[in-house]
Structure 1
Amino acid sequence: MATRSSGGGGKTRVGRYELGRTLGEGSFAKVKFARNVETGENVAIKILDKEKVLKHKMIGQIKREIATMKLIRHPNVIRLYEVMASKTKIYIVMEFVTGGELFDKIASKGRLKEDEARKYFQQLINAVDYCHSRGVCHRDLKPENLLLDASGVLKVSDFGLSALPQQVREDGLLHTKCGTPNYVAPEVINNKGYDGVKADLWSCGVILYVFMAGYLPFEESNLMALYKKILKADFTCPPWFSTSAKKLIKKILDPNPQTRMTFAEVIVNDWFKKGYKPPVFEQENVNLDDVNAIFNESADSSNLVVERRLEQTPAPLSMNAFELISKSQGLNLSTLFEKQMGLVKKETRFTSKRPASEIISKIEETVAPLGFNVRKNNYKLKLAGEKTGRKGNLSVATEIFEVAPSLYMVELRKAEGDTLEFHQFYKNLSVGLKDIVWKTDQEVRAELEAGKGTVSARTGAGKRAVSA
């Protein structure tokens, strides 16, 4: 078992990486911000629980996926650097980009102009087509998986649902229904097997539509009504779309995968080619020794890393100016329920001038009547709902950060359960916490955006931002 010092506070080290805040979590994995203590480089580390992976017989699939993604070197795909393992966990070290989600930009500023939409669409098509050429289908292309780096270059992330060639059955088709409803292709809904390449292109078409329209082509509150629209490709383009853009989108959003446009046809399309800049590739030898080592059951323990906690007095994690500014991407509550964009946020936050211990006590006091149990680990709380919801029990991860002397930021993130139920929970929680909330996330976001230049000038040019 990986060793971990007893006691409360301290930072956690895994190999040469110092782990920071949690960026996201799911059933099998948790993603944490981390820093390479040797180089100072910021990375994101995806942490998988070995026991869960073994229980669901996913070792082979994960090994193939990691090996394939490590071989992919594309300027528009999140880079996978290395893989490590302890006796209980697998650590996947990935590129950490600094520009947030592209769709946050659309949510706050509205639709993109056609030339800008085309630029991002070109990068998206380049990335997905390249991965297809390496045998990887994404299968879950959606807003949350399109990130921007510091230079505004699009990066496709999260190939956690990607299908490798080994998952194709004898009929040459995939049979796993996955993806996000508004972006999913008709043949995936039909559940009769589908070509992952063709299904990915459909999702790209939906994304291009949203780039240019500012809302989804297929949107219904009722899931069956939504599926009916998708199966018929029942949508209309707004009048501000150019004629050539309309034609391209209609050819991509063809409900028949056999007659749907192909990636090769998109790339030579006149609308697509305007201002097109081919990607520049890195020439680099890739070593898969680390991947083979961690999955080699007969390997000696020298291949394993140890997760250890460096002791110090328990205190809330501190957050520097750039990390705080990066949080402004998600600080705006106004987009929480903007169904026209399909942006369902899984986290929110507020600031408080009350002592951290008082904040914790107030949260405990407020969630008890709402039917939630609390597990505490210093300045982290896990709020577990007693009632079973639409997607099981709601679980909310809560963490308190110190952003300045006597100023704390409280982040609440859905860990398990239904996202809309999380929103309702937060609304109820807000009522009970109104006495300790100094500013809501919307107010903080406005101030951060207004003061970003001042902060940058004071603290120097740094890169501390978040990708989920």
Structure 2
Amino acid sequence: MEMSNRSLQNATSKMEENEILIKRGYYLRGIIGEGSYSKVRRAYSTQIKDDVAIKIIVRALAPPVFRDKFLPREIQILSYIKHPNIINVYEIFETRRRPVGDTVYIVTEFVKCGDLLEFVKEKGAMPEQEARNVLRDVIEAVTYLHDNDITHRDIKCENILLDILPGRIGMGFTAKLCDFGFARRIPKLSETVRTSAEEVETIPKRSAGISECSSGVSQEVYPAQTQLTKTFCGSAAYAAPEVLERRAHDPRAADIWAMGVVAFITLYGAMPYDDTDINAMVDIQRREEIPASKSRKIARKARDLIKLALKYEPTFRPCAKELLMHQWLQITANKH
């Protein structure tokens, strides 16, 4: 009897969900992904005249820390950002559904070619010209975020979507950064109200102020009065060593490390480190030992970009603008 009631409740909930979306002009086509308290559905939009992706989050089923902390941040950031290499958000709305309660809907563009990890698993390492296009796109998105005092904190291949862009060389991919569930604004000391132990100290002096870019142009890296964090976010395989070691860190430098891991995977078709033993992995990272595949050779400048992003000491990594100016990314730039 209990199972019958639960099945009836689920059926009622799905019908109500379908009715809500149809009223707003969305016709469901299938499930893209599903978790314990959220799912992503593919739908056709009568207004946009194209497919969209709808992330559906049931507040009552979500952990309190996600519901009260991360979800409000994600909604606020998604409502603010706009960049060609960041997933486009069409609308965000909330409804009350029986019996699940308040439900949040985040409607975004549907990107047709899957994510970067799927590509690498299916086809292996990406050819260097296509990889350059994709990595440049993502670094441009990260530069935009950091310029707007936002850090992603979960950059990984699964959160980089690929789409076809007419006019590009070869495969012609363009990349879009998605999933801002761990993203946050980077508060300055003057505007922060301490509500938790997450913000612990200011950025070290040597990483603030002026830095010499690889191009030879001096520019500001990070403001001196930026607060650091000890919060662990994202996946261990992409996490910077200072994050894994629970050191106070600037999350923008951790974003750069994650970009280095993404670049390695894209160009070599493999992970740079074995994350089954975190302590051993951090020891290797501390020695700055970056493996290179014997079966695949990449350009020296491409290897240099990876090495710069994977510096153990976060203050020795380039900022996003510096990384974007790297020589390898400037070769035969084929931008739209």
TM bucket, shorter chain: 0.7 to 0.9
Given the alignment of the two structures, is residue 169 of structure 1 paired with residue 169 of structure 2, yes or no? no
Pairwise CA distance, 1:249? 1.6
Deviation by residue 1:234-273 (Cα, 9 ceiling, x = unmatched): 2233461222222222121100001122222222222221
Rounded to whole Å, the distance in 1 between the matches of 2:61 and 2:32 is 20
Residue in 1 aligned with 2:333?
276
Pair 1:249 & 2:306 matched = yes
Decide whether the 8 Å contact of 1:53 with 1:59 is kept in 2.
no
1:154 counterpart residue number: 175
Supply the AA of the counterpart residue of 2:310: L
Aligned length: 277
Residues in 1 aligned to 2:79 and 2:334: alpha-carbon distance in whole angstroms = 25
Counterpart selection for 2:92 from 83, 87, 107? 83
Task: State the Cα deviation string for residues 328-377 of structure 1 (Å, max 9, x = none).
Answer: xxxxxxxxxxxxxxxxxxxxxxxxxxxxxxxxxxxxxxxxxxxxxxxxxx
Q: CA shift at 1:135, angstroms?
A: 2.5
Q: CA deviation at 1:13?
A: 2.7
Gaps of 5+ in 2: 1-8, 97-101, 166-172, 188-195, 202-226
CA distance in 1, matches of 2:129, 2:68: 43
| Structure 1, 200-209 or 35-44: larger mean CA deviation | 35-44
- 82-91 or 35-44: bigger deviation: 35-44
* Residue identity in the other structure for 1:62: L
Greater RCO structure (CA 8 Å; 6+ sep) = 1
TM-score by length of 1: 0.54
The answer (yes or no) to whether the contact 2:200–2:230 under 8 Å persists in 1 is no
Give the aligned partner of residue 238 of structure 2: 183
- TM-fit CA distance, 1:5: 8.1
Match of 1:23 in 2: 32
Partner of 2:318: 261
> Cα 1:10–1:186, aligned 2, differ >3 Å: closer, same or farther?
closer
Written as runs of structure 1 = structure 2, the 5 A alignment for 1:89-168 is 89-151=103-165, 152-165=173-186
Shift of 1:123: 0.7
For residues 20 and 103 of structure 1, the distance between their equivalents in structure 2, rounded to whole angstroms, comes to: 24
Give the 5 Å matches for 1:306-345. none
CA distance in 2, matches of 1:6, 1:184: 41
SS at match of 2:266: helix
- Residues 198 and 278 of structure 1, relative CA distance in 2, 3 Å threshold: farther
**Aligned-pair CA distance for 1:202:** 0.6
Cα distance change of structure 1 residues 140 and 60 upon mapping to structure 2, 3 Å threshold:
closer
2:291 to 226, 236, 260: 236
Contact kept? 2:40, 2:56, Cα under 8 Å: yes
Choose 176-185 or 20-29, whichever is displaced more. 20-29
Partner of 2:51: 42
2:285 aligned counterpart, secondary structure: helix
What amino acid does structure 1 have at the position aligned with 2:141? A
Residues 35, 255 of structure 1: CA spacing in aligned structure 2 closer, same or farther, 3 A cutoff? Answer: same
Work out whether residues 200 and 229 of structure 2, in 8 Å CA contact, stay in contact via their aligned partners in 1. no
Specify the code of the residue in structure 1 equivalent to 2:149.
Answer: G
AA in 2 matched with 1:262 = C
Aligned partners of 2:261 and 2:272 also within 8 Å? yes
Q: Distance in 2 between matches of 1:93 and 1:71?
A: 14
Q: Which runs of 5+ in 1 are unaligned?
A: 280-468
Offset of 1:116 from its aligned partner?
Answer: 2.0
- Distance in 1, matches of 2:178 and 2:14, equals 33
The amino acid across from 2:28 in the alignment is: L
Instruction: Give the Å deviation of 1:107.
Output: 2.1
Given candidates 49, 69, 85, the residue that maps to 2:78 is 69
Instruction: Tell me the SS of whatever aligns to 2:231.
Output: coil
User: Structure 2 matches for 1:439-458, cutoff 5 A?
Assistant: none
Residue 46 (structure 2) pairs with residue 32 (structure 1) = no
Q: Which amino acid aligns with 1:63?
A: P
8 Å CA contact 1:19–1:34 kept in 2: the answer is yes
CA deviation string 1:73-113 (max 9, x = no partner) = 21111111111111221111111111112232222222122
Q: Give CA-to-partner distance per residue, 1:123-179, whole Å, 9 cap, x none.
A: 110111112222221111112111112332111111111122359615111221122
Larger Rg, first or second structure (1 or 2): 1
- SS of the aligned residue for 1:84 comes to strand
Percent identity of equivalent pairs: 30
TM-score by length of 2: 0.73
For the residue of structure 1 that corresponds to 2:125, the secondary structure is: coil
Matched, 1:51 2:81: no
Cα offset, 1:277, TM superposition: 5.2
1:186 shift after superposition? 0.6
1:198 matched to which residue of 2?
A: 253
Q: Report the CA distance shift for 1:244/1:214 in structure 2 as closer, same or farther (over 3 A).
A: same
